[in-house]
Structure 1
Amino acid sequence: MRCAVRHGGRVAPPGRRASVASPTSTGGSWSAREPRPDPVSTRSWPRPSASWRRSNPGWRPRCTPRHARLRPIACCASASVCRPSVSTDCMPKPRIMTRCPPSGAVMEVTVERPVVGGRMLARHDGRVVLVAGAIPGEHVRVVVEQAKRDVLLAKTVEVLEASQDRRSVRGVSGCGGRTFAHVAYRRQLQLKTDIVRDAFRRTGGLDLDEPLSVVASPERGYRMRARLHVDAERVGFLEEGSHRVCDLTNSGQLLPKTERLVERLGSQAPALARAGVRTIELAEDLAGDQCVLHLPRSGDIGGAADGWRALAEVPDVTGLTTEAEVGAVGPRVLAGAPVVTDSLASFLPSDGAGNLTLRRHAPAFFQANRYVVRELVTAVADLVSGAEVVDLYAGVGLFAVCIAARQGGHVTAVERDSSSVPDLRSNAALLDPVVEVVRAPVETYLKRTPRLTGASVIVDPPRAGLSREVLTRLARARPDRIVYVSCDVATQARDLRALGLQGYCVTRVQAFDMFPNTPHVETVVLLEQSGSPTSSPALRSPSAPARVSSATRNN
């Protein structure tokens, strides 16, 4: 076996002399532009031509720093016949790992802690395993669903050592919104607290120095807004991780009478599927007395006239709508009343609420939990201050209108979604001119409004969080306070770090269980100015996280 030798920072093939290796002896040639090497000095070795590396089996690319020591190493069976070569002490050591288990492999693991998304973290042969259907502290047998380079996705098939917080599951366990159904509810709240703390620490560089308590919710009948899916056989939710429609009966997310209503809708599933209806948006009022269904479609709803007429005649359905005609404002009404309404005082009691009501169409965005929404609105209203409030991503005006009725001043509500703007304008008209509606993307509004000094800004963005442009322009506008409402703690933590770089400090954190039996948690964070923008993070790195206080509530 031939060995390469390094001279003066260049690699050359071994020759017959110890001091100089002749390139011609190995079939290579020096570049015509470079001089022949000095046989005495090894510092003037020229760079070999491209043909040289192809014609010499002893050549290997240099992967070590130029200052590496030259020491003889054993590179063949008889080390005495080899020339000196670069020591492997400074070469990168390959990472030794066991063979990645294929999908379908079965293994046993001990679960450590929860992670964002609802799975539990475990380890097997040096790899991270994210397990579904387990509880921290349990020893379980799992089957690998998907194998990646360093992470395995697995699901529990047998519990070998069960946690005392494990409980039996009622209804279809794999139906959507049931990820934590096997966990006792009090332990669910603890897991969500751990998820928030972990995300804030790892992604946002924030360490909560006080106990964080999640506002609890009744587990059953909490949903007053839902998206139902339609196939040729049934109407229901989707199974976790699939596009199969499952029976939501006894899932506990809807009121019992609403579950019976959905069961009756299933009789019209074949006709709706033929007409191109793939989803049904369902909206109820707080009490559950009003129920409006909205039918998005890809085909002509007229082809399912008999089907939608039958839906309108289903007991407890108070309204039925479909997509608006071209140029029309609001959904097309097929039957009944197109909106559900609630008194403004039911969300935030105040002298200004009086007999005012808040309306919404079924496709418009609105908070889903009928039991916790009041506490959420109260928490946001308590964090704003001053006479100027800006509500970005205002939806139908839940925060903007309630705050305007409570404290007056001037409230600007910014929204671009065509399904929410009609309701926002209708609700804001009740308090005109206190509430001003701006229909525009948030990026456009902030571009037109470069300064927000003295204002309190509420942001309640989609799950993806704030865009880079919104983060930049919002920080430049320098509002006194930012109240950040989010249903995705990971993207929120990412945005908090970015705002920390711009001189904002997190001073309060609150959490709300808007979706029991799932890993989702709603968080409300207050940020206040802590100084001018800097090039270094105002929020410390995860190794030395910033400490902030969290609001505590008794559940």
Structure 2
Amino acid sequence: MTGRLIEVEVGAVAHGGHCVARHEGRVVFVRHALPGERVRVLITEDKGGSFCRGDAVEVLVASPDRVESPCPFAGPGRCGGCDWQHATPKAQRALKAAVVEEQLRRLAGLERHVVVEELPGGPADWRTRVRLAVGADGRPGFRAHRGHGVIPVDDCAIAAPGALDAVVDRAWPPGAELVVTRDADHAVHVTEIGPAKRVRGRPVPGPARRRSGSGTATEHAAGRTWHVRADGFWQVHPEAADTLAAVVAEWAAARPGETAWDLYGGVGLFAAVLADQVGASGSVAVVESAAGAVADGRRDLADLPQVEWHVGRTEAVLASPAFADRRPDVVVLDPPRKGAGREVVEAITRSGPDRVVYVACDPAALARDLAVFAANGYRTTQLRAFDAFPMTHHVECVALVEAVPPTGSLSTRSVDWPDDSDH
């Protein structure tokens, strides 16, 4: 029953920023707790069935990994943005590694030891892109966990320094949303999205967006300068773009004259890496559904004629005549949080690339897609994970997937197969 107070022993971490406990034969998903603790839990959501959700409101026996949350807006009933502020940074990475391992084991049948690697800069002051909601009182803040209420804030422990200064000290139209970006040159851009309207119960876009700042963010990554829409997609951690580009470069290992695909390519960060590898005699096809990102990419990569752009949903573009009978040597994909899905993965495997580099921000979606690759003759040979979202449950993974050579054939490339490669 919602509002009930119970006492539980906290078990293992689960995907989504909570831990698993059991009470009276039911599973309780507990936030603000750590494995091994004994806590009092306030039930916040109970729809019946086999599980309910709750917040640890009192710690009776604390984990040695527990620390005081650095943000006054974190904790039960408060901002839902950070999941692990009550854990040491080392413990946070261990929790994320455990989640990745469990998702790979359960959904993809892969037994793999995972280490979540720390990015430079520490656990605070890293988030360069922040989305806020505006409450009924005109004050900006963040949504409560699994709720629509707005928790007003005057600062954010994980936001890049200075990012929110121009936002939190003024009133905004109630119901609006704010997208705040601090770019690599420390310029701050604010995009105000008008309050959403509802038609037949569904939200529809409100008034036109209003912007302060130039609206174009300057970023530096992969040895290039990028000029991208401030409210468009770019990695939120200042070290993430370069880190991921370096891994993609290493694992893609495209040769001069080869063909590469960059799916869900955004403004072309990975396309730039691939273009340098294949050279003027090769080709890189970028597929991206956001026309604005493609426009930015065309401009920023105008010096790379081997890069061609395709605007549309990835599954539709791959099924189009433009991609019929095309065989890439390597495919890079960086899908949204829901993953690529069976249709896209099977289209990739039918095209027959030697290697696929999969960049993922959700371990469950990654594991589901890796299982589809495995069912279609591909094998996961490498995986790295990065703490690109400290204090939250999110983790960035990169997997290398390679075609399994036919029995009795010799691969043209040397592959160091890991011990668990047959799972």
TM-score (norm 2): 0.85
- Distance in 2 (CA, whole Å) between partners of 1:145 and 1:136 is 20
Aligned to 1:285: 183
- Distance in 2 (CA, whole Å) between partners of 1:532 and 1:501 is 14
Quickly say closer, same or farther: Cα 1:298–1:167, change in 2 above 3 A: closer
* Partners of 1:463 and 1:487 within 8 A in 2: yes
- Distance in 1 (CA, whole Å) between partners of 2:395 and 2:188 is 26
Aligned to 1:227: 131
- Distance in 1 (CA, whole Å) between partners of 2:366 and 2:91 is 23
- Distance in 2 (CA, whole Å) between partners of 1:279 and 1:219 is 26
1:73-152 equivalences in 2 (<5 Å)? 102-147=1-46, 148-152=48-52
Q: Which amino acid aligns with 1:149?
A: G
Quickly say closer, same or farther: Cα 1:456–1:144, change in 2 above 3 A: same
Aligned to 1:319: none
Quickly say closer, same or farther: Cα 1:518–1:164, change in 2 above 3 A: same
* Partners of 1:458 and 1:484 within 8 A in 2: yes
Aligned to 1:13: none
* Partners of 1:502 and 1:532 within 8 A in 2: no
Aligned match of 1:159 in 37, 42, 59?
A: 59
CA displacement, residues 44-92 of structure 1 (integer Å, 9 cap, x when unaligned) = xxxxxxxxxxxxxxxxxxxxxxxxxxxxxxxxxxxxxxxxxxxxxxxxx
- Distance in 2 (CA, whole Å) between partners of 1:243 and 1:143 is 19
Aligned to 2:232: 364
- Distance in 2 (CA, whole Å) between partners of 1:251 and 1:283 is 14
How far 1:481 sits from its partner (Å)? 1.0
Higher deviation after alignment, 472-481 or 494-503? 472-481
Aligned to 2:217: 340
How far 1:523 sits from its partner (Å)? 0.6
Quickly say closer, same or farther: Cα 1:489–1:110, change in 2 above 3 A: same
Quickly say closer, same or farther: Cα 1:296–1:242, change in 2 above 3 A: same
Aligned match of 2:297 in 395, 399, 424?
A: 424
Aligned match of 1:391 in 262, 277, 294?
A: 262
Establish whether residue 435 from structure 1 lines up as the match of residue 307 from structure 2.
Answer: yes
CA displacement, residues 477-524 of structure 1 (integer Å, 9 cap, x when unaligned) = 111111111111111111111111000100000111111111110110
How far 1:157 sits from its partner (Å)? 1.6
Higher deviation after alignment, 222-231 or 482-491? 222-231
* Structure 1 unaligned regions, length at least 5: 1-101, 301-321, 325-331, 534-545, 550-555
Aligned to 1:445: 317
* Partners of 1:452 and 1:479 within 8 A in 2: no
Aligned match of 2:81 in 170, 177, 182?
A: 177
- Distance in 2 (CA, whole Å) between partners of 1:115 and 1:194 is 8
3-state DSSP class of the match of 1:169?
coil
* Partners of 2:9 and 2:39 within 8 A in 1: yes
Higher deviation after alignment, 212-221 or 175-184? 212-221
Aligned to 1:459: 333
Aligned match of 1:415 in 288, 296, 319?
A: 288
Aligned to 1:87: none
Aligned to 1:11: none
Bigger radius of gyration, 1 or 2? Answer: 1
3-state DSSP class of the match of 1:261?
coil
* Partners of 1:503 and 1:532 within 8 A in 2: no
How far 1:393 sits from its partner (Å)? 0.5
Q: Which amino acid aligns with 1:237?
A: F
3-state DSSP class of the match of 1:155?
strand
Aligned to 2:356: 482
How far 1:527 sits from its partner (Å)? 0.3
Q: Which amino acid aligns with 1:279?
A: E
- Distance in 2 (CA, whole Å) between partners of 1:280 and 1:114 is 32
More strand by share: 2
Aligned to 2:194: 297
Length, aligned pairs only: 389
* Partners of 1:295 and 1:323 within 8 A in 2: no
CA displacement, residues 372-430 of structure 1 (integer Å, 9 cap, x when unaligned) = 33212211121112222210001111211243246633221111213322212212213
- Distance in 2 (CA, whole Å) between partners of 1:372 and 1:299 is 32
* Partners of 1:223 and 1:255 within 8 A in 2: yes
How far 1:452 sits from its partner (Å)? 4.7
* Partners of 1:450 and 1:476 within 8 A in 2: no
Q: Which amino acid aligns with 2:157?
A: G
Quickly say closer, same or farther: Cα 1:380–1:323, change in 2 above 3 A: farther
- Distance in 2 (CA, whole Å) between partners of 1:199 and 1:519 is 14
Quickly say closer, same or farther: Cα 1:153–1:202, change in 2 above 3 A: same
- Aligned-pair identity in percent equals 33
Quickly say closer, same or farther: Cα 1:203–1:295, change in 2 above 3 A: same
Q: Which amino acid aligns with 1:172?
A: F
* Partners of 1:364 and 1:395 within 8 A in 2: no
Establish whether residue 245 from structure 1 lines up as the match of residue 146 from structure 2.
Answer: no
CA displacement, residues 91-132 of structure 1 (integer Å, 9 cap, x when unaligned) = xxxxxxxxxxx2222222111211110110112233222111
Aligned to 2:115: 212
Aligned to 2:200: none
Quickly say closer, same or farther: Cα 1:144–1:268, change in 2 above 3 A: closer
TM-score (norm 1): 0.66
3-state DSSP class of the match of 1:429?
coil
How far 1:211 sits from its partner (Å)? 4.9
Aligned to 1:268: 171
Q: Which amino acid aligns with 2:248?
A: V
Establish whether residue 513 from structure 1 lines up as the match of residue 387 from structure 2.
Answer: yes
Higher deviation after alignment, 524-533 or 422-431? 524-533
* Partners of 2:163 and 2:181 within 8 A in 1: no
Aligned to 2:367: 493
- Distance in 2 (CA, whole Å) between partners of 1:472 and 1:290 is 42
